[in-house]
Chains A and B, each alone.
Chain A
Amino acid sequence: DGGITQSPKYLFRKEGQNVTLSCEQNLNHDAMYWYRQDPGQGLRLIYYSQIVNDFQKGDIAEGYSVSREKKESFPLTVTSAQKNPTAFYLCASSIDQGVLTGELFFGEGSRLTVL
């Protein structure tokens, strides 16, 4: 079945460590996104990529990095510079190169806890 796969589902990290969250899609979508969700707040955009080998900062990119070397893959690295990394991270894709239809397809999320 087509979809978006995120891994790991749960991750614990010590302060000062970098961690990489995987996101793979087999929907053949051009655009991919990373969001962060915190309790009581709406989803906030970290990075997005409209096409392979290109990505743009979202609203809260500081302390994060991404790459888009393949259409199917958009990994997110949470670096030690991210001051408050504990959150629920959601990867998404869209059928066009933007969000014109408003429909994002989300993965099941990765829950990161910093100890």
Chain B
Amino acid sequence: RKEVEQDPGPFNVPEGATVAFNCTYSNSASQSFFWYRQDCRKEPKLLMSVYSSGNEDGRFTAQLNRASQYISLLIRDSKLSDSATYLCVVRLNDYKLSFGAGTTVTVRA
């Protein structure tokens, strides 16, 4: 079983829509969680950390459910510039991050 699993999508949404997707992780001892954004053929960049109580950063909301071992990302009022692949990342220990394969979001005009 993969350490981190994501629905690859793509999620095709119109501008202004809300889109949400999940990521599941297999190791219950995972210590912390993050969402990265990767544009086509570019390097990944940290989008936001995911806190136990849930957190928002502008139009982005991240949630963590430790009991069911998943995290989620919700994007409100989607912009064309939100089109990207979103990578779910789990920190297993002090030196290892485990990356999901990514969920692709395409926002259309």
Chain A residues in contact with chain B, CB under 8 A? 35, 40-45, 48, 50, 56, 90, 98-100, 102-104, 106-109
Contact = CB atoms under 8 A, between A and B. Distances in A.
A103 B45 CA distance: 8
B100 A99 contact: no
B44 A99 contact: no
10 contacts: A35-B99, A41-B101, A42-B102, A48-B95, A56-B95, A90-B43, A102-B46, A103-B46, A106-B45, A108-B43
Interface residues of chain B: helix, strand, loop or mixed (majority) = strand
B42 A108 contact: yes
Nearest to B102: A42
A42 B94 CA distance: 19
A42 B44 contact: no
B71 interface: no
Contacts of A56: 95
Contacts of B19: none
Nearest to A59: B96
Given A100-B94, A102-B32, A42 B43 contact: no
B4 interface: yes
Given A102-B89, A106-B43, 16 more contacts: A40-B101, A43-B99, A45-B96, A45-B97, A98-B94, A98-B95, A99-B95, A102-B32, A102-B33, A102-B34, A102-B46, A102-B97, A104-B46, A106-B44, A106-B45, A108-B43
Nearest to B3: A42
B57 to A, nearest CB: 14
A35 B99 CA distance: 10
